[in-house]
Amino acid sequence: MRKLGCLAALAALVACALAVMVLFAARSSSKAPAPGQVAAVAGIPARMLAAYQAAAVSIGREVPRCTGMTWAVLAGIAKIESDHAAGHTVAANGDITPRILGPVLNGSGAGGNTTAVPDSDHGQFDGDASYDRAVGPFQFLPSTWQTSGRDGNGDGRRDPHNADDAALGAAVYLCGDGRNLADRNQLRSAVYQYNHSQAYVDEVLSWVDRYAQLGTGRITVGGSVHGGARTVLDAALQKSGVPYSWGGGDASGPTRGVCCSPGGSSGAGITGFDCSGLTTYAFAQVGVSLPRTASAQAAVGRRIPASAGVEALQPGDLVFFAYNPASDATIHHVGIYMGGGQMVNAARPGTVVRSEQVWLSGFAGGARLL
């Protein structure tokens, strides 16, 4: 803050304080979220979500040429890096306690690290003056933070252990010199820069897609969805990330499965959903009781033949897959159509509830229950 003379200085200080109060009140208000923002997302603490959204709005001031940054992109990174600071307290100003620290990067193999990373911050952020550790909810290396770190909450500090600072720093890092993150290839490149692993990129983007679809419950893929279809899709999408469990799931939610799938996979030790368990749960939320197997569910409602194509489906329809699409007796999988060629489903052992493109292989039409 600039120093002025006597009364002018006092007036400036009062005006500045009032401006800060107004800004804080605006940030803390419960007004409806701005376009592209959401009021709440299951699994993300409200204070962390606020940090992601503020960073997505503010990034234009830091990297003017960057486009396509959304809160969902930042949430996807933070989900993998710290599960949104799970198990930690996030204060009103964004400070996170206790600090989130990764393994000591001394080449011991802990956390998959086999290359020593000497100290770069004199222990300022990671408490270790010999080796670096990743820090904060976005797990920055101290050396990276020194170039990408930003003051997101306007307190005059750049702290990777502060939700606002860390989220804005991550946005800066992902934007680079001015990426268009609405372009899928550029988004993939940005996430790969964060962690040089294609498996990591795939996992982050799966969460980015889920968060983008969750929002406040409005399904954006395939247009606006209302009524029972919206309730069904919301219920299924809110279980994104729940493990696949053969025989798992019923009208009350995820359950332990049974042994064994045709491939020999047991769900007995896994609490989750299989494909028809997920649909049973989702439709129970609108009072529709479904039989337990995918093939039996094909007999409920108005059948939509495979010959009509995916374009004949509407959001909220069941979508089926069969070994022989001409024979309902061979149906082995079911999902819920979201629109835009997308479905939400519990795909197979080893995966989680997720959204993805409707499979072309084995497409056996759908059924309209609502």
What is the tens place of the pLDDT at every residue in 332-342?
Answer: 999 999 887 88
Q: Tell me if 207 sits within 8 A of 75, measured CB to CB.
A: yes
Tens digit of each residue's pLDDT (9 = 90 or more) over 29-77:
334 455 456 667 778 999 999 999 999 999 999 999 999 999 999 999 9
Q: Tell me if 364 sits within 8 A of 334, measured CB to CB.
A: no
Mean pLDDT, range 204-218, rounded to an integer = 68
- Domain boundaries 34-100+135-214, CATH class: mainly alpha
The residue to which tokens 């045709």 are assigned: 262
Q: At residue 95, does pLDDT exceed 60? A: yes
Give the start-to-end residue ranges of the domains of the chain: 34-100+135-214, 227-368
Tens digit of each residue's pLDDT (9 = 90 or more) over 252-275:
999 999 999 888 999 999 999 999
Query: Model confidence at 209, in pLDDT bands (50, 70, 90)?
Result: confident
Q: What is the pLDDT of residue 292?
A: 95
Q: What is the pLDDT of residue 214?
A: 57
Q: At residue 290, does pLDDT exceed 80? A: yes
Tokens standing for 166? Answer: 């860390």
Listed in sequence order, the DSSP H helices in 29-121 are 46-62, 71-82
Q: What is the pLDDT of residue 252?
A: 96
Q: What is the pLDDT of residue 213?
A: 64
* Closest residue by Cα to residue 135 from 149, 125, 148: 125
Q: In what order do the strands lie in the sheet with 342-346?
A: 302-304, 363-368, 318-322, 331-339, 342-346, 353-357
Q: Name residues whose C-beta falls within 8 Å of residue 177's C-beta, 6 or more positions apart in sequence.
A: 63, 65
- Specify which residues 97 forms β-bridges with: 89
Q: Name residues whose C-beta falls within 8 Å of residue 76's C-beta, 6 or more positions apart in sequence.
A: 191, 204, 205, 206, 207, 208, 211
Q: Residue 3 and residue 6: Cα distance in Å, rounded?
A: 9
Q: How many CB atoms lie within 10 A of CB 186?
A: 17
Q: What is the pLDDT of residue 281?
A: 98
Q: Tell me if 205 sits within 8 A of 91, measured CB to CB.
A: no
Q: Tell me if 60 sits within 8 A of 68, measured CB to CB.
A: no
Query: Model confidence at 107, in pLDDT bands (50, 70, 90)?
Result: confident
- Among the listed ranges 4-18, 117-131, 176-190, 196-210, which one has the minimum average pLDDT value? 4-18
Across the chain, mean pLDDT equals: 86
DSSP 3-state of 246: coil
- Specify which residues 90 forms β-bridges with: 96
The CATH number of domain 227-368, selected from 1.20.120.10, 3.80.10.10, 3.90.110.10, 3.90.1720.10: 3.90.1720.10
pTM of the predicted model as reported, rounded to 2 decimal places: 0.54
CA dist 74 → 7, 92, 349 (Å): 44, 19, 28
